[in-house]
Amino acid sequence: MIIKTILITGGAGFIGSHVVKLFVNKYPEYHIVNLDALTYAGNLENLSEIESLVNYTFVKGDITDETFISNLFDKFKFDDVIHLAAESHVDRSISDPLAFAKTNILGTMVLLQNFKRIWSDKWQGKRFYHISTDEVYGSLGETGLFTETTSYDPNSPYSASKASSDHFVRAYGETYGMPYVISNCSNNYGPNQFPEKLIPLFINNIINKKNLPVYGDGNYTRDWLYVLDHAKAIDLIFQKGKNSETYNVGGINEWKNIDLVKLLCDQMDEKLGRNKLESQGLITFVKDRPGHDLRYAIDASKINKELGWEPSVTFNEGLSKTIDWYLNNEKWLNQVTSGAYKEYYNKQYKK
């Protein structure tokens, strides 16, 4: 028996697909509607194992299409929204900032407006959950951590667009009484990530013995979070988080880019049976990107104390699992990088 219908946006993407699979399998009493525009980073093959389950529905659509979204909310009367859909690659935001403003700001507002329209003042048992990023906080020096009360100071078009969407979610909560929760997460890694981000890009390049382009001097520092741990955190926050609160989700796992790349090279060489340090010879330092933040680091003590969440794997373990997944799924990787995977969409969802 279905007791509620939940809209998950961006559910064919990297993080979203893991969240969708977790919710569909864990909560058979929930009807999960996965809305995704199937842009370059969305891949329905990520969800093939659940596509026939009765409590799962996929809908192809754009969150910025006001008429389409309005009709979708009228049809399903969503009890909750878990909003992950976003343009998320900093480099792409530098070359096309308007696309990020449209999807991340306008798209979020279209969802908020329709959730408000459907439920108005009947908010009991409803929730809008917005998943954001630690990049909204800006850049840290060599010390300190981002907390939930850190002032926003975004430095890229991507982080500025996400900061704006965070503000609109809070504004709808304050102005209209909409129950909401926000989480800001650190860099995710793991299976199914589109190979434009550092770890899957470099895995693919190492496999093919291509150069590993490292920005600047490689000393930029990031906090890395295994995607399955993030999905579990999202589940906890959705179920037990307090309304009108923000939760920072981090891996408690800081790495300088150059040290991470060397570790990745060493693990890849071992798994591929190559000579030690062979892949490190592929490292190439390239011109830095504009507005590159020096360091991100999350204080995840709030979610740990209030909800009992903590990362389940060490970075060495998570990285090893990630490499194994890509090595065992070279067909997926080749299809994604070649664009051949789009044939799957056309076959599965003909208009």
Active-site positions read 134-135, 158
Token representation of residue 232: 């579990």
Token representation of residue 30: 């929930």
Q: What type of residue sits at position 209?
A: K
d(CA 282, CA 160): 33
> Is residue 6 within 8 Å of 32, Cβ to Cβ?
yes
User: What order of strands is seen across the sheet that includes strand 56-60?
Assistant: 56-60, 30-36, 4-9, 80-83, 127-133, 180-185, 245-249
d(CA 165, CA 216): 30
d(CA 108, CA 131): 11
Nearest to 133 by CA among 162, 98, 165: 162
Nearest to 55 by CA among 27, 79, 17: 27
Angstrom CA distances, 77 to 20, 73, 119, stand at 19, 5, 9
d(CA 180, CA 158): 22
Q: At what angle do helices 107-119 and 157-176 cross, to 10 degrees?
A: 10
> Is residue 106 within 8 Å of 161, Cβ to Cβ?
no
Torsion of CA 247, 105, 174, 122, to 10 degrees: -100
